[in-house]
Structure 1
Amino acid sequence: MWFKNLIFYRFTQPFNTSVEDIEEKLREKRFRSCGSQDMSTYGWVPPLGKHGELLTHAGNGFIMLTARKEEKILPSSVIRDAVDERVEQIEQEQDRQVFSKEKKALKDDVLMELLPKAFTRCQNTFAYIDSAKGWLVVDASSFKKAEELTSCLRECLGSLPVINPPLKNMPSHAMTRWLAQEIPLPDKLIIGDECELREPGDEGGQVKVSKQELVGEEVEVHLQAGKQVSKMALVWNDALSFVLGDDLVIRKLKFTDSIQEQLDEVSAETAAEQFDADFSIMTLTLQQMLDELMDYLGGISEEALERTEVASFSVEIPEKETV
């Protein structure tokens, strides 16, 4: 359950949907396993796994959701070999050439035949809603994975007015100035031992530095040459370590020993109680960190939030037919 990466979205209007309403709407897309002809399925599962039945887990104003994706493992090389074999058979038996249109039809036939025999793999994606601070936080390192969850949630709720945080300044601007010591590093932050520097422009060179002191002559040479920080390892408040990217994605998130000490003070008797304690400590810690990180990076543009058209985040839900 402990998040390893963070992609976070800002609500453009207060999120007032109750936990009960969310629970009811998520049931419409409860996860089901792949059928014989399904390439993949996507839906909601209980955050507590086998220890719970509800599709939501609420505590301290936070609401946790878990999406599961199951997909068939069917390598393209396997399909290609099967199609080639059939093409060769037809050409030999019927003494004619098989053209692209027929090959496409053969490929569809092969796919339908192989799907029921294919292995499957499952992957869960965790997320939580912080309605008090206006955050939707997804445990993902790629926007594609995060957007699968937000799209499914939007479809269930009918509307999900969230956007990537519109910062007043680019994250790379602040990180570069911190590393170049042009501005003081915030009191709660410590620079780690990993960073990535890039030259401006799509074809600019890049330098990766790992497992060494970042504040020094070796890195300073690249900064003076005009490179900017695109990723940098940071430690926040001696509680979290992570790598912050200029895309505002937090990767390699780790909770330090100080968080473990808080957990050691919890006397949970059941798995559900332990999950609730973990969830509470994790979300409260991340809530404080995200708020402070936004300030460190220059703050969120409230004007940009106000300009966002909420209607663009709505999904029309067809009315159910009555019999």
Structure 2
Amino acid sequence: MWFRNARIYRFTKPFDVSVEELESKLEEDAFKPCGPQESFRQGWVAPLGRHGVQKVHSANGYHLVALRKEERVLPAAVIKEAVTERVEMIESEQMRKVPRKEKEEIKEELTQEMLPRAFTKSKRTFAYLAPKDGFMIVDAGSDKQAEELATTLRKALGSLPIRPPALEQAPTFTFSGWLNETIDLPSTFSLGNECELKDTGEEGGVVRCKGLDLLGDEIRNHLNAGMQVTKLSLGWEDSLTFVLDEELALRRLKFGDTFQEKLDDIDADDAAAKFDASFTLMTLELARLIPALLEALGGEDRSAIVEEDAA
């Protein structure tokens, strides 16, 4: 159970929902397959898949959840072709021009007719809540996918006080400072070999570099020309590598050999135990990385965070 992406959300107030209540709330909004006339459905499923039934998998105070979304695949080209055929038939038989409004009605009618016969596809999005650390981490490749999970979880719970972490300075400023060496990169971090730079002018040109020395003259020339670094590959303590962007999204997370060795050392024969072990190792590793990363980026603005209940 290793995340390939990590989108970070900060709890702005203590999360005091118990595991039992969280399980109950998610069970009420459990996944059900699409009905014949539904284009999509989503709901909560067991993170362990066929190896579990609980909607929440908890270990060491970390709570893993999984949102499943099922969609009916009805390509726009197929609908368009069917609408064209229906319109041509009407115009030929009735000797009249079909107006735009009627075409839209035909499109809607045909979509409803075709939906029950359409194939379905589904995907699962994982996230874990870390109340003691004050974070929720979502394994999502896009902001839209992460926000969809957060919104669905908020709806299930009635409240979910989270937001992306606020930093004291813009990540692009820090990224650029690391590469032009005006800001020291902490020793626990190392530069990778790829980055993305953007022109701050009206044209907004983008330069993507891969396989280069990020402290070399080629990158330095772009920085001297006023470009800013918006994406950067990094390593951390020889245990993790990732690509970090200006929105603080960690992509292409890769856990190193040391991490794998720790997992191999755990005496766990069945799939559920192995899952639990890898989840525990991952959460503990990210619990160390995230504060270190936020500090390396100039520190977090915690002015809007309530550390404990007013009571």
Q: CA deviation at 1:258?
A: 1.1
Counterpart position of 2:144: 144
SS of the aligned residue for 1:33 comes to coil
Give the AA of the match of 1:136: M
Aligned to 1:318: none
Deviation at 1:224, TM superposition (A): 1.0
User: Any idea what SS the aligned residue of 2:294 has?
Assistant: helix
SS in 2 for 1:167: coil
CA distance in 1, matches of 2:295, 2:141: 22
Mapped partners of 2:301, 2:248: distance in 1: 15
Map of 1:276 onto structure 2: 276
Q: How far apart are 1:202 and its partner, in Å?
A: 5.6
- Report the Cα distance in structure 2 between the residues aligned to 1:35 and 1:252, rounded to whole angstroms: 35
Match of 2:42 in 1: 42
**Is 1:170 the counterpart of 2:167 in the alignment?**
no
- Deviation at residue 28 of structure 1 after TM alignment: 1.2
Total equivalences in the alignment: 306
State the Cα deviation string for residues 116-135 of structure 1 (Å, max 9, x = none).
Answer: 11111110000000000110
TM-score for the superposition, normalised by structure 2: 0.96
Give the SS at the match of 2:80: helix
1:29 is matched with 29
Is residue 195 from structure 1 mapped to residue 195 from structure 2 by the alignment? yes
SS of alignment partner, residue 219 of structure 2:
helix
Amino acid at match of 1:278: S
Structure 1 letter corresponding to 2:244: L
TM-superposition CA deviations, 1:90-145 (whole Å, max 9, x none)? 11111111101111111111001110111111100000000001101000121110
CA contact (8 A) 1:26 1:156 kept: yes
Q: C-alpha offsets along residues 7-60 of structure 1, whole Å, 9 cap, x if unaligned?
A: 110000001101000000001110011111010001000000000000000001
Q: How does 1:71-90 map to 2 (within 5 A)?
A: 71-90=71-90
Deviations 1:164-215 (A, max 9, x none): 1111111111111111111221011000010011121463222111012211
Contact 1:7 1:138 in 2 (8 A): yes
Contact 2:65 2:126 in 1 (8 A): yes
Structure 2 partner of 1:240:
240
Structure 1 Cα separation of the partners of residues 111 and 83 of structure 2: 9
| Contact residue 12 and residue 304 of structure 2 kept, 8 A | no
**Shift >3 Å, 4+ stretches:** none
Q: What is the CA–CA distance in structure 2 between the aligned matches of 1:145 and 1:171, rounded to whole Å? A: 22
CA distance in 1, matches of 2:201, 2:295: 27
**Counterpart for residue 155 of structure 1:** 155
Q: Is 1:289 aligned to 2:289, yes or no?
A: yes
* Structure 1 unaligned regions, length at least 5: 307-323
Letter of the 2:110 counterpart: V
Would the aligned equivalents of 1:166 and 1:304 in 2 still touch at CA under 8 Å? no
RMSD value over aligned CA atoms? 1.0
| 1:190 match: secondary structure | strand
Aligned-residue offset at 1:261: 1.0
Counterpart Cα distance in 2 of 1:157 and 1:49: 22
Separation in structure 2 between the aligned mates of residue 260 and residue 171 of structure 1, nearest angstrom: 30
Q: Which residue identity does 1:98 align to in structure 2?
A: V
SS of aligned partner of 2:174:
helix
**Is contact 2:32-2:41 (8 Å) kept?**
yes
One-letter amino acid of the structure 2 residue matched with residue 145 of structure 1: Q
One-letter amino acid of the structure 1 residue matched with residue 90 of structure 2: I
- Is the aligned partner of 1:53 residue 2:53? yes
Match of 2:231 in 1: 231
Secondary structure in 1 aligned to 2:203?
coil
Change (3 A) 1:7 1:201: farther
CA distance in structure 2 between the partners assigned to 1:201 and 1:289 by the alignment: 34
Instruction: Quote the Cα distance in structure 2 between the aligned partners of 1:240 and 1:110.
Output: 50
- AA of the residue aligned to 2:25: K
Equivalent residue letter for 2:35? G
SS in 2 for 1:267: coil
- The answer to whether the Cα contact below 8 Å between 1:141 and 1:250 also exists between their aligned partners in 2 is no
In structure 1, give the amino acid aligned to 2:95. D
Structure 2 residue identity aligned to 1:15 = F
In the alignment, what sits opposite 2:210? Answer: 210
- Aligned residue for 2:176, secondary structure, equals helix
**Partners of 2:286 and 2:203 in 1: CA distance:** 35
Deviation track 1:148-169 (CA, whole Å, cap 9, x = no partner) reads 1011100110000001111111
> Residues of 2 paired with 1:203 and 1:7: CA distance?
29
Deviations 1:249-304 (A, max 9, x none): 11111111111011111010211110110000000001110010011011111114
Partner SS state of residue 302, structure 1: coil
